[in-house]
Structure 1
Amino acid sequence: PEALVEGSIKFAATSGGIFIDMAIHDIDLMRWFLEDEPTEVYALGATFKHPEFQAVGDDETAVATYKFKNGGIGVIHVGRTAPHGYHVETEIIGTEGSIRISPVPEKNLAMLYNSNGVVTECVEGFPERFAAAYLAEMQEFIDCICENRKPGVTVYDGTKSTAIGFGTTEAWKSGKVVEL
C-alpha cells in the first residue's frame, strides 16, 4: 500500500529487485497454469512518484512478458505501491473463456455508500490477504510429516522460478529480450 511506501523504499536498497520481490509467486503461477516453462522474457520498469527507488537501482512499477515453449504468453505487472491498499490479482485468458481471480482485494463483503460513492475496503497487506493460504500451507506441511509423504511443490519448482526471476531482472536491467 502507498501508506507503507517508506518501508518499501528502505527495503529496495538491499532487496532482490522488483521482480524477485514482487513477482516470484506470479512466475510460479504462470508455470503451474500453463504447465510449461518460459523460454524468453522481456521486461520494463518505471518510476513516477518515488525517485528513491531509482536511486537504489530499482523501480516503482514494472512489467514482463514471457514466451512459453508451448506458445503460451504470460504477462506480469508489479508495483511497489497502490493508493487503495494491497492489491493482487490474476487473469487467465483462454480460447474458450477467461477467469479473473480477486480483481478487488476485498477486506470483507461490506460496501460503503457515502460521499465518496460506493466503496469497498481493501485488505491492508499480504498477511491479511493470504491468512487462509498460510494456514493451508502449514496444514499441508504437518500432513506431509504425519503421512510421511513429500509435498507436491518441489525444490525444483522454487529454484526454477527463482532462475526465471533472475532472468527477468536481467531483461529489466538490460532492456533486451533474455533467453531463459
Structure 2
Amino acid sequence: MERNPDMCKMFARNPFFESDLVVGTQWRIYYSWSVQIGPKCVDISFKNGTKEIVHRVWSDMNEYLEMQPNWDAAALLLNIGSSRHEVMLFTDQGPVGGFIGVPNIVRDGNIPPLRKSVSLIKFHMKLVESGRYLVVMDCQLGVASLSARSNVPVTLSDIITVAMELNLGEGHPACTVARDNEDPFIMKQYI
C-alpha cells in the first residue's frame, strides 16, 4: 500500500464507528497492511478519555509535540499490545471515525524525544460487517489493521474475505495457526 493522503478519505466512505462498540472490548489484530505482524497475536483496547487520562498524557507529551491537539476533544485512549504503548485519540472534524492521535512516546520507556519534535498522527477507524470487525488506519503511513473481538473465534477464510472486500491492497494475515486436516483457524495465542 502506498502512502496516500487521500487514502482515509476513500476509506471513510460510508463511515461507521461507535465508541461504545469498541470501549471495554479487547480486539485482536488478524490482518495488516504495510506492516507484517507475523504469527504472533497483538491485542488492542480502548478506554474513554477521562480527565485523569488526558492530564497524564498531556503531562507526558505536551512539551514534545510539534503542534498541540485540542485537548478538550480527547475521546479515546488506544492501548497497543501492552499498556506501555498508547495513543491518545482526539475527535477530528470530518467523517465519523476520524481521529488525531498523540503517541505517548514517553510512556514507551524509550529515550525521550527532542522538544517539539513529535508529530500528531491522523487515524481513521471503521467498524465493518455490522461491528464484527474493526479497521484502524494510520492515514499518513498507510499502515492498517483488521481486528476482531479476541473472545470471538473467527476463521482465516473469514478474515481474508473481509480484508479483500476492504480493497486496501495486499496485506498479511497475523495471529494464525493451522490445525491438521482442517481449514486454518485463528487461535488464541499470547505474546
Kindly indicate which of the two structures has a greater share of residues assigned to helix: 1
Kindly indicate which of the two structures has a greater share of residues assigned to strand: 2
**Which TM-score band applies after superposition, normalised by the shorter structure?**
under 0.3
TM-score (norm 2): 0.26
